[in-house]
């Protein structure tokens, strides 16, 4: 079984300058409380990278109540290697806790990106891919969602007020660490919002189109064949199961996405053949996962 391992935020020092004490005897800094409240009111514009990471970690845990991880070490190492290469060439090569890539043991043709850098891809999606370039296209699309912080945008407006209230509670309790915030459930309702949207509705046509376009830029920076993105879309459509839980419920129709890709690539060189080495290592690493 593949374990979810995440970096943790450094322990924050307790506040003890000025102010009174709460019931637990911890000193309260009124200026910290003020800064926390102000931060919450500005959250829409400035949701921190640490907060996005902890929110994403909670969302990932929520996703794993619906799906199981695929436990093939070779496949997971390969997907992670390709994913980290893609992330390194994005507009956000680093996140607060780092990028993580996992395979879900599901025949659905799908992939998910949780805020902060946590990305899942299903075995069904791996089956739709024919080579490393197409796998990179899927992962680049998900990285594009993260670099554009689309996940935070899925949070309902009503949740921001509650976030501010909970932030006041944390400050009054003398806590400042994001890890503590996650532990007491500050992001609870936000997790529900974003998890439901990611798994059942997606980011919407506008943001999916944006992610498709940004993914092409990432692929070209690395040297992957961007035209393989359109071929992948055709493969995905062929594997679509009517009424199933897959990309068709959360993304625009493949034919519309192909139009977006073709339009973005109209000035690029004609599609070239994918180097055999990238096909060979793709097959070697993922043959078992794609055969099931």
Encode the chain (292 residues) as per-residue pLDDT tens digits: 333 433 323 222 222 223 333 333 333 344 443 344 344 444 444 567 888 888 888 888 889 999 999 999 999 999 999 999 999 999 999 999 999 999 999 998 899 999 889 999 999 999 999 999 999 999 999 999 999 888 777 775 556 555 554 544 444 444 444 443 443 355 667 777 778 777 877 777 788 888 888 998 999 999 999 889 888 988 887 776 555 555 555 555 667 676 777 777 776 666 788 999 999 999 999 999 999 8
**Residue 73 near residue 95 (C-beta atoms within 8 A):** no
Please identify which residue in the block is written with the tokens 């009124």.
30
Tokens standing for 43?
Answer: 């959250």
d(Cα 247, Cα 112) in Å, to the nearest integer? 10
* Cβ count within 10 A of residue 223: 11
Pairing of strands 111-114, 118-122: antiparallel
What are the C-alpha distances in Å from 170 to residues 29, 52, 268? 11, 17, 52
Partners of 101 in the β-ladder: 119
DSSP-derived pairing of the beta strands 118-122 and 100-104 = parallel
Q: Which pTM value belongs to this model?
A: 0.73
Cβ–Cβ < 8 Å for 110, 119: no
């Amino acid at each position: 079984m593949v374990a979810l391992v995440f970096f943790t935020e450094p322990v924050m020092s307790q506040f003890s300058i000025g102010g009174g004490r709460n019931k637990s005897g911890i000193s309260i800094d009124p200026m910290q409380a003020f800064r926390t409240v102000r931060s919450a009111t500005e959250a829409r514009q400035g949701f921190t990278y640490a907060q996005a990471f902890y929110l994403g970690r909670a969302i990932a845990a929520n996703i794993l109540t619906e799906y199981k991880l695929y436990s093939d070490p070779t496949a997971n190492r390969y997907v992670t290697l390709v994913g980290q290469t893609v992330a390194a060439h994005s507009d956000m090569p680093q996140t607060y806790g780092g990028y993580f890539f996992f395979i879900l043991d599901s025949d659905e043709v799908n992939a998910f990106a949780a805020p902060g850098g946590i990305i899942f891809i299903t075995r069904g999606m791996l089956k739709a891919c024919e080579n490393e370039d197409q796998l990179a296209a899927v992962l680049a699309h998900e990285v594009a969602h993260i670099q554009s912080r689309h996940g935070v945008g899925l949070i309902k407006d009503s949740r921001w007020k509650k976030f501010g209230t909970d932030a006041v509670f944390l400050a009054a309790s003398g806590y400042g660490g994001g890890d503590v915030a996650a532990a007491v459930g500050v992001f609870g309702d936000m997790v529900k919002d974003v998890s439901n949207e990611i798994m059942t509705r997606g980011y919407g046509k506008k943001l999916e189109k944006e992610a498709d376009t940004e993914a092409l830029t990432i692929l070209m920076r690395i040297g992957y064949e961007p035209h393989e993105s359109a071929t992948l879309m055709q493969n995905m459509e062929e594997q679509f199961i009517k009424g199933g839980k897959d990309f068709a419920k959360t993304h625009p129709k493949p034919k519309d996405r192909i139009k977006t890709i073709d339009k973005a690539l109209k000035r690029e060189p004609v599609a070239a053949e994918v180097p055999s080495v990238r096909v060979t290592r793709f097959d070697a690493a993922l043959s078992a996962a794609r055969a099931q």
